Amino acid sequence: MIPLHGIASREDLPLPFPLIVAAAAAVLIVTFWILLFAWREPRFRERQGREMPILTRFVDSPWFSRPLRLVVGVLWLLAAVALAFGPDRVDNPIFGFVFVWPWVGLVPLALLFGEVYRRTNPIRLLLRMTGATAPAPVPAATANTRSRLPAAAALLAFAWYELVEPSAATLPVLRGAAAAWLAWVIVGVFATSAKWIARADPFEAFASTLAKFSPWSRSASGRLLLINPLRNLASWRPPRHLWLLACVLLGSTLFDAIAGSAWWVRAFQDSSIPPRIVGTVGLIATVAVIAGLYLLSVLPLRRHGRTLTQVADELAPGLVPLVAGYFLAHYATMLYLEGQRTAIRMSDPLALGWDWFGIAEAGPNLALLGLPTLIAFAQVFFIVAGHVSAALVSHDIALRNVEPDAAMRRQMPLLVLMVLLTIVGMVLMFG
Amino acid sequence: MTFFARVLLPLVLILGLSGCSTAGSGEPTTIRLDITSSAPDEPREEAVELGSLVTLVVTSEVDGLVHVHGFEEKLDLVAGETAEATFKASMTGAFEVETHEPDAVWIKLVVS
């Protein structure tokens, strides 16, 4: 029996093989060019860019932030209503709201506009009286670098729920999951402090991590900074256990591709082992293999006075572009199609025949899905661009604290791992 | 900022290049499907051209519902009778044609 999926109704066509070969060749050449011929002195250590004082005043003013929070708050309220009182069918907007809008949609949102999620986080809105709202920007120097282990665990749980749990797209199960998420974050806030949200809310931790690869940052004085995304990422003082969080994200996306591949389906569809166990073992094994390979690959970059996991954290920003590239390549078309469908369903949250936004009649726009060549090129572009950015950021970080010639040798395993992940990722999209 | 030029230019080029591929309108296609009480091991693959009119003709041994994913076509089935639905294959991709009782994917519809 083939497990029936809830929300994704369409799969992308396999990537054309010549395109994969060309992209893989480009990845190899560019990676080794970076290793051999790119800059020998770290150049992205400082957080600098163009300060935008007027934009800062606008973005930080209540005239902008209040309406923004109001709109986002109303959307979450609508979702909550659909979750509590809507019909238990796949056309309930809550499924698209959870699995498409925040999960997939926050990637382009964070990459284009930076820390939007943190400033509109519904849990922060709920907990306003405890001072949990994030009205003021955080200058880089005072950023919260405490362990992101709770968020990594929560993200793994979310990935398990989305990719493994067979009844994820049924209302009672989703209600339980939503309650668990709220309890995890809110109880944590009351037990510790409002800083728990940044460390433990899976969505915020995910969005904030990707926002570091956006062209937006804050200067020491708190002003908005238009910045080269590579510099933004490479100059980040990463929080502890960022490497684990990145490996969870990479591993779960990779597992999604593996579980959809023909050989996995053939191997397990008739097996007597329950699908929950197969999926759980598969997901955890994929994440563990990636985490293990990553630790091995940064082993040569270890230096006196630093533990292996500290070095793994220092280099973890280099994994973020890989995550971004994978996510966009795998889920951009799903965001396009199911994102529109979710908007349509959102205008009738209780399935009573309403059409608040007046968009139900027209149906989703499918123009982009009629251009398979464009989709294939865009997917490969996302993966290759993510890989090249990852290699450049890692190169810059690896040059610090190490002699240039030694750095070249020592960062080789990490770059080889990245090439491997990128090519495996593309081959999985081939078949 | 030259950075934006460096990032945006390739994007625009890719968009321009790929925009050239035209969406063809293929011949109308009829796909026949017999639903039995036992599910198939693997779904049958049916390839159709983008833009073609697809008619799905389903005969069934059991009562139930056939669902064409993606295009959101739903067909009510009555045992022993034939039902049909026609839709335009307006997007590329792979789509599953499934029933819920028995829980099975019968056809993988590939539109390209």
pLDDT in tens, A48-107: 899 999 999 998 888 998 899 999 999 999 999 999 998 887 778 898 888 888 888 999
Using CB atoms within 10 A of its CB, is residue A136 exposed (0-12), middle (13-18) or buried (19+)?
A: exposed
Domain boundaries, chain A: 17-41+88-114+148-209+237-428
- Helix then strand count (H, E) for chain A reads 20, 3
Contacts of A275 (CB under 8 A, 6+ apart): A3, A164, A166, A268
Band (A343; pLDDT cuts 50, 70, 90): confident
pLDDT band at A3 (very low <50, low <70, confident <90, very high): very low
Position B83 in a domain? yes
| Spans of chain B below 50 pLDDT | 1-4, 14-23
- Output the pLDDT for position A67: 92
For residues A208-233, average pLDDT: 92
Using alpha carbons only, how large is chain B's radius of gyration in Å? 19
User: For residues B104 and B34, is the Cβ–Cβ distance under 8 A?
Assistant: no
Beta-carbon contacts of residue A94 (< 8 Å; ≥ 6 apart): A79, A82, A83, A86, A171, A174
Determine whether A200 is exposed, middle or buried from the number of CB atoms within 10 Å of its CB (0-12, 13-18, 19+). Answer: buried
Q: Is residue B4 situated within a structural domain?
A: no
Pairing status of strand B53-60 against strand B29-35: parallel
Domain that holds residue B103: 23-111
Say yes or no to pLDDT of A383 above 60. Answer: yes
Instruction: Tell me which range, A132-136, A242-246, B26-30, is most confidently predicted by mean pLDDT.
Output: A242-246
Mean pLDDT of A309-313: 94
Q: Is the pLDDT of residue A143 over 80?
A: no
Look up residue A13 and give its DSSP letter. Answer: P
Q: What is the pLDDT of residue B1?
A: 42
Judging contacts by C-beta atoms under 8 Å, the chain A residues touching residue B3 are 215, 228
Contact (CB, 8 A) for A204 and A102: no
Predicted local distance difference test score (pLDDT) of residue A135: 54
- Specify the pLDDT at position A142: 61
* pLDDT for residue A138: 60
pLDDT of residue B66: 87
Whole-number pLDDT of residue B21: 43
CA distance B56 to chain A (A): 18
The answer to whether residue A130 scores a pLDDT higher than 80 is no
Q: Compute the radius of gyration of chain A from its Cα atoms.
A: 22
Amino acid at A10: R
Amino acid at A384: V
B32 inside domain: yes
Name which of B42, B91, B110 is nearest A369 (Cβ-Cβ): B91
Q: How far apart are CA A120 and CA A78, in angstroms?
A: 15
B13 domain residue, yes or no: no
CB–CB contact B69 A10 (8 Å): yes
Whether B9 is covered by a domain: the verdict is no
Angle between helical axes of A17-37 and A412-428 (0-180°, round to 10): 170
pLDDT at A156: 96
pLDDT of residue A6: 54
Cβ of B21 within 8 Å of Cβ of A373? The answer is: yes
Q: What are B110's two structure tokens?
A: 């590939």
> First and final CA of chain A: distance in angstroms?
20
Cα–Cα distance list, B73 to A124, B68, B98, B112 (Å): 41, 5, 11, 19
Q: How far is B110 from chain A (nearest CA, A)?
A: 8
Q: Considering only CB atoms, which chain A residues are within 8 Å of B18?
A: 371, 373-374, 377-378
Do A138 and A218 meet the contact criterion of CB atoms below 8 Å apart? Answer: yes
* Structural domains of chain B, count: 1
Give which of B39, B36, B106, B69 is closest to A1, Cα–Cα. Answer: B39
DSSP state of B20: T
CATH number, residue B91:
2.60.40.420
What is the reported pLDDT for A139? Answer: 58
Tell me the pLDDT tens digit for each residue of A26-47.
Answer: 999 999 999 888 888 899 988 8
Is B12 near chain A, with CB under 8 Å? no
